[in-house]
C-alpha cells in the first residue's frame, strides 16, 4: 500500500515542482520532486488573468451537469433494458451496442450539432456525450444478475418503476455508480477538445482549454523573442 501511494504521489509532486520551477530547468529536464530555480510567474499570470475564474466555473458546471446526466441516463437505460417486460428490449440493446463499434465520427457529429443550432453554447459540450453506451451495458448486465425476488417483492408492495429503481436497485449498484461517477467527472474535467471544435465564445471556454490557450500563446511569444 505504501508503494502504491508513492506511485501516485511522486508524479503529482513532480507536476507541482515543474509549476514552481524556472523555464530553463524545466526545458532541460532537471526537475524531480523538488523545484529548481523557484519561480511563481505562472501562478501570477494565471491569477491575474480575468478568464481564469470564468473558465474554472464553466468547467465545474459542465463537469457536474454531464456527470449527473450520464449516470442518470445510463442507470435508467440499464434498468429498462434489464426489465423482462420491456417490448423490443433486445433490439434496443443491439442498437446501442452497434454504436460502440461503428461511431458516427467527428464530422457527422459536428454537422448535427450545427444543424440543431447548439453550436457555441453549453449544450454543445453536454448533449453529444451525454449517453455512455458502455455504462448502460454494464448497468444492464449487473441489474440482470440481481435476485428477481427483490424486484418482485417491491412490485407486490406497490412500488412503481422509479421507486423500485431508487429504493431497491440503486443501493445494490451504488459502488459501481460511485466508480462511474468518478470516471466521468475526471474525464469531463479534463475535456478540452469539444471546446476546440464547437466553441468560439471565450466566455464558454473550460479551464483546460483556457490553460492550453495560455501555453500556446506563451510558446508563440517565446519563439518570436528567440527569433529576434
Alpha helices by DSSP H, listed for 82-169, are: 89-101, 106-115, 123-126, 133-144, 148-156, 161-164
Q: Which of 42-46, 82-86, 93-97 has the highest mean pLDDT?
A: 93-97
Tell me the pLDDT band of 181, cut-offs 50, 70 and 90.
very high
Q: What is the DSSP letter of 190?
A: T
Tell me the pLDDT band of 191, cut-offs 50, 70 and 90.
confident
Q: Is the pLDDT of residue 227 over 70?
A: no
Give the pLDDT of residue 222: 62
Give the pLDDT of residue 146: 82
- The string of pLDDT tens digits covering residues 143-170 is 888 887 777 777 777 777 788 888 888 8
Tell me the pLDDT band of 223, cut-offs 50, 70 and 90.
low
The average pLDDT across 172-190 equals: 91
User: The cell 457555441 sits on which residue?
Assistant: 120
Give the pLDDT of residue 224: 60
Which residues, at least 6 apart from 195, have a Cβ–Cβ distance to it below 8 Å?
125, 204, 205, 206, 208, 209
The average pLDDT across 112-120 equals: 89
Which residues, at least 6 apart from 152, have a Cβ–Cβ distance to it below 8 Å?
none
- Residue 90 neighbours by CB distance under 10 Å: 9
Contact assessment for residue 25 and residue 37, using Cβ atoms and an 8 Å cutoff:
yes
Burial of residue 11 (CB within 10 Å: 0-12, 13-18, 19+) is: exposed
Q: Is the pLDDT of residue 118 over 70?
A: yes
First to last CA, the chain: 53
Contact assessment for residue 113 and residue 198, using Cβ atoms and an 8 Å cutoff:
yes
The better pLDDT of the pair 39, 116 is held by 116
- Residue 44, all three cell numbers: 501570477
| pTM, 2 dp | 0.79
CA 164, 167, 168, 173 dihedral sign is positive
The better pLDDT of the pair 26, 74 is held by 74
Give the pLDDT of residue 96: 84
Amino acid at each position: 500500500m505504501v508503494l502504491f501511494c508513492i506511485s501516485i504521489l511522486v508524479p503529482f509532486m513532480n507536476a507541482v515542482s515543474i509549476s514552481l520551477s524556472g523555464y530553463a530547468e524545466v526545458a532541460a529536464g532537471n526537475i524531480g520532486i523538488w523545484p529548481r530555480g523557484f519561480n511563481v510567474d505562472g501562478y501570477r499570470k494565471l491569477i491575474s488573468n480575468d478568464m481564469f475564474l470564468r473558465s474554472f466555473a464553466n468547467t465545474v458546471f459542465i463537469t457536474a451537469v454531464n456527470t449527473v446526466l450520464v449516470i442518470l441516463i445510463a442507470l435508467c437505460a440499464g434498468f429498462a433494458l434489464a426489465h423482462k417486460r420491456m417490448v423490443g428490449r433486445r433490439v434496443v440493446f443491439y442498437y446501442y451496442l452497434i454504436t460502440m463499434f461503428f461511431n458516427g465520427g467527428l464530422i457527422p457529429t459536428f454537422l448535427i450539432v450545427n444543424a440543431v443550432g447548439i453550436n457555441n453554447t453549453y449544450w454543445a459540450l453536454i448533449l453529444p456525450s451525454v449517453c455512455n453506451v458502455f455504462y448502460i451495458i454494464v448497468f444492464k448486465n449487473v441489474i440482470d444478475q440481481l435476485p428477481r425476488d427483490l424486484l418482485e417483492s417491491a412490485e407486490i408492495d406497490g412500488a412503481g418503476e422509479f421507486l423500485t429503481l431508487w429504493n431497491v436497485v440503486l443501493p445494490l449498484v451504488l459502488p459501481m455508480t460511485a466508480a462511474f461517477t468518478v470516471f466521468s467527472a475526471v474525464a469531463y474535467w479534463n475535456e478540452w477538445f469539444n471546446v476546440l471544435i464547437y466553441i468560439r465564445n471565450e466566455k464558454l471556454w473550460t479551464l483546460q482549454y483556457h490553460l492550453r490557450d495560455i501555453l500556446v500563446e506563451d510558446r508563440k511569444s517565446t519563439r518570436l523573442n528567440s527569433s529576434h
